[in-house]
Structure 1
Amino acid sequence: MHAIQQLTDVLTSTFRVPAQEVSPEATLDDLGLDSLAAVELFMTLQDTYGVTLDDTHATPDMSLKDIARLLQNQMDGQQEHTP
């Protein structure tokens, strides 16, 4: 599953963002998520996918594309270290 789909799944299920509002170019602010929700999203992604994300980057002006890239980079990095 690609990171943008994983991010969409978390946003729609956990944060109740309507799926039709989710697009790679949308920012968290566009989706109605404030700075606290942005940090919660990063924490949820970490718990759900077993990755480490620097939540200092979790700001409402981040686009979903940027968050998906961070998530994918972390998942790719973990796969390299898995025997």
Structure 2
Amino acid sequence: MDRVYDHLVTLLADKFEVDSDRIVPSVTLGELDLDSLAVVELYVTLQEEWRVPLDDSAASAELTVGEVAGSVAALLTEPASGPEAAQ
């Protein structure tokens, strides 16, 4: 999860202009001043960059940075399935 967390910190700092000193695993996205639209944009960006199927409907400003990183990391460790896996 460390590489996912580190990438998430970089993404939040660069794309969403969050001060990296404020980003810790226990802080919520809302506490980082991300509104609901920004949270969905974050999820879409993570899906595109990591090629994981994050559930946009579960995107919430109440999620912590650690929870988001954990969700991505968990999806990265799951075995591939579906039509793309057969290619």
TM-score (ref. length: structure 2) = 0.84
Three-state SS of the structure 2 residue aligned to 1:46 is: helix
Percent identity over the alignment?
Answer: 31
Cα distance in 2 for residues equivalent to 1:50 and 1:24: 22
Question: What do the CA deviations read for 1:13-69 (whole angstroms, capped 9, x no partner)?
Answer: 111111101000000011000111110000000111111100111100100111011
CA distance in 2, matches of 1:2, 1:76: 13
Computing the radius of gyration from Cα coordinates, the structure with the larger value is 2
- 1:39 and 1:27 map into 2 onto residues whose CA distance is 14
Structure 1 segments, 4+ long, off by >4 Å, are none
Letter of the 1:11 counterpart: L
Name the residue aligned to 2:69: 68
User: Which residue of structure 2 aligns with residue 42 of structure 1?
Assistant: 43
**Aligned length, in residue pairs:** 80
Structure 2 unpaired stretches of 5+: none
DSSP-derived class of the 1:73 partner:
helix
For residues 49 and 13 of structure 2, the distance between their equivalents in structure 1, rounded to whole angstroms, comes to 14
* Aligned-partner Cα distance in 1 for 2:10–2:56: 19
Deviation, structure 1 residue 2: 2.0
Gaps of 5+ in 1: none
Cα-Cα RMSD: 1.4
CA separation in 2, counterparts of 1:24 and 1:47?
Answer: 22
**More moved, 2-11 vs 28-37:** 2-11
In 1, Cα distance between equivalents of 2:22 and 2:57: 25
1:33 alignment counterpart? 34
TM, length-normalised to structure 1: 0.88
